[in-house]
Amino acid sequence: MRVVLSDDHAAHVPTGELYLGELVRPFECPERWEHVVAALDAAGLEDRTSPDPLDLVGVEAVHDAAYVQFLRTFWDDWTAAGNTADAIPTMFPVRGLRHDRVPDDVEGRLGYFAIAAETSITAGTWRAASAAAAIAQTGQRLVSDGEDVAFALCRPPGHHASADQFGGYCFLNNAAIAAHGLRVDGADRVAVLDVDFHHGNGTQSIFWERPDVFFASLHGHPADAFPHFLGWEDEVGAGDGAGATLNLPLPRGTGFDAWGEALEVACGAISRFGAEALVVSLGVDTFAGDPISFFRLATDDYLAVGRRIAALGLPTLYVMEGGYAVAEIGTNTVNVLVGHLGG
């Protein structure tokens, strides 16, 4: 299995996260990447590839160009305005406020392009986020060129990033960029299977009206789990994309038996869709010990996850998303990959 990765992830090191009324050390931290690499080493998955240069055309195929420009330049604008701390959004264009004007003020622009206040922009955010997108693009090209399976070790993650907003630790939607790239490189139909605990609201919104990309997600029920305002069962796509979205929200305390049944439903739907290639948004925050989630999967369960996904028989790119039990993230992630390879 080819693994695509870059040390550039370490450029994004936010100093604080607003969590339940407190400013805490961010759950999304550089050590997550390090534990995954250590587990890859232990499993003998040592076929490593550095990413090709970022293809901005591919990024802007799923992201608004003005949003991409915001990410590229915002830190310079933030510091030019006299700010030195991480940029944390505090004001949003919510109900009753206008969405059609982008403020000139840096604080206003920050809130305009954000969905939540837990995610900050730092001096190295664009470097890390653009590297993560390049990693996903490189992994996608490996699969398009004939690899059966590849792993894009992206950090920061991406599935909460919509066409023009960041949040949930995500800035560029790595999985969506890869899925679109698979289409461009010849796959008529592509599926995105999101197994992260949190709903991939950004991925869903990007492909909401597209009939050529099927999005399936099993996740904590939005009545109880972030991002709260998307991921309900009745969201199935719209326009030409009607029927190409499948949401399988699950309640608190869900263990592997019920979660595995939902995975079966998702895999069946992907097969019926006729997907020719698959992107997996691989989050392992479904783990019982995850500090910000409420499912009950065990480490050995992730082997079965990989085996079931492999049984789809599709060229597959795994794209790293969440997982915040830092000591266990490596083994849990690599178990999925080992399971896919038949272990």
pLDDT in tens, 13-69: 999 998 998 889 999 999 999 999 999 999 999 999 999 999 999 999 999 999 999
pLDDT in tens, 193-231: 999 999 999 999 999 999 999 999 999 999 999 999 999
Beta strands in the chain (DSSP E): 2-4, 17-19, 22-24, 48-49, 149-152, 190-194, 213-220, 245-250, 277-282, 316-320
- The pLDDT of residue 60 is 98
- What's the whole-number average pLDDT of the chain? 98
- With bands split at pLDDT 50, 70 and 90, how would you rate the model's confidence at 180? very high
Beta bridge partners of 166: 114
d(CA 236, CA 216): 10
Whether residue 263 contacts residue 219, with contact meaning beta carbons closer than 8 Å, is answered with: no
Whether residue 196 contacts residue 226, with contact meaning beta carbons closer than 8 Å, is answered with: no
d(CA 145, CA 165): 31
The residues, any chain, with a CB within 8 Å of residue 266's CB and separated by 6 or more, are 193, 216, 217, 218, 246, 248
Tokens of 20: 């339940």
- With bands split at pLDDT 50, 70 and 90, how would you rate the model's confidence at 343? confident
pLDDT at residue 269 tops 90: yes
- What distance separates the 2 farthest-apart alpha carbons in the chain? 55
- The pLDDT of residue 278 is 99
Which letter does DSSP use for residue 246 in this model? E
Percent of the chain with pLDDT over 90: 98
**Region 68-75: what's the mean pLDDT?**
98
Domains of the chain, with CATH numbers? 2-63+122-340 (3.40.800.20)
Helix or strand holding residue 40 (H, E): helix 30-42
**Region 305-320: what's the mean pLDDT?**
98
Q: How far is CA 103 from CA 79, 148, 167, 171, 319, in A?
A: 17, 46, 19, 20, 34
User: DSSP per residue over 123-174, as a string?
Assistant: TTHHHHHHHHHHHHHHHHHHHHTT-SEEEE--SS--TT--SS-BBTTBSS-H
- The pLDDT of residue 18 is 87
The count of C-alpha atoms lying within 13 angstroms of the C-alpha of 228, restricted to the half-sphere facing its C-beta, is 6
pLDDT in tens, 2-11: 999 999 999 9
d(CA 12, CA 156): 8
**Region 118-142: what's the mean pLDDT?**
98
- Shortest CA distance to 205 belongs to which of 248, 249, 173, 178? 173
Which letter does DSSP use for residue 89 in this model? -
d(CA 36, CA 196): 16
Q: Rg of the Cα trace of the chain?
A: 18
Q: Which residues are designated catalytic? A: 160
Helix 301-310 / helix 326-340 crossing angle, nearest 10 deg? 40
Percent of the chain with pLDDT over 70: 100
- The pLDDT of residue 15 is 94
Q: Is the dihedral of CA 194, 196, 198, 200 positive or negative?
A: negative
pLDDT at residue 320 tops 90: yes
